[in-house]
Amino acid sequence: MTPPPPMMKTPVLKLPLSSGLRKSPLPPARKKKMPYSICTKSKLYRFDKDGNQWKERGAGTVKLLKHKKTGKVRLVMRQSKTLKICANHYVLATMTVQEHAGNDKSCLWHASDFADDELKDELFCIRFASVENCKSFMETFREVAESQKSTEENKEASAAAGLLEKLSVEEKEAKDKVEEEDVKAKEETETKEDTKKVDDSEKKDGEPAST
């Protein structure tokens, strides 16, 4: 038998890893709002006023997302299995968070939530796996609420400046309109006087001379 020909070894080429993938592991769509703080292993509850009891909303990850342009921070939480939204609301300067009485791993806060595609006033309670995680969440929540005060103050200052500028423009336009009307009235008066003089002169020239 004729022995088989020797197998050719195919050289293995090493492809360089794209530097863009190293720096950007996340897709561009997820870069618009970056997490301000992330707390894991938490369970969210809402207070049912009708039943006068706490009802579970879901267990998952709660995130505080800060918008790069507006500076607003939104609290978002999804269920870990179904990814259904449990909470979705802005963190405002007027919001406060406090510990749950009798449970140092839980805390409470009020919010106008939009998780169900409509605004609802909710009382939330979130429970963490450890006291440290709960304290960290509360500190971050308060820090965010404090940061929103300066944002709202700047917004109010800008609104006030815009209002003053608008009033100044309106006052100038009103003043210009009054001056324009005065000039127009003066021109009409002068025209009437000139017309009257011409009529008087013509009338005088048309009278017969006295003998």
Let me know the angle formed at the C-alpha of 67 by 62 and 70, rounded to the nearest 5 degrees: 140
The residue written with tokens 């336009």 in the block is 173
Confidence bin at 12 (pLDDT 50/70/90): very low
Q: Is 50 exceeded by the pLDDT of residue 178?
A: yes
Residue-level pLDDT at 145: 94
DSSP bridge partners of 123: 110
CATH number of 30-155: 2.30.29.30
pTM for the full model? 0.57
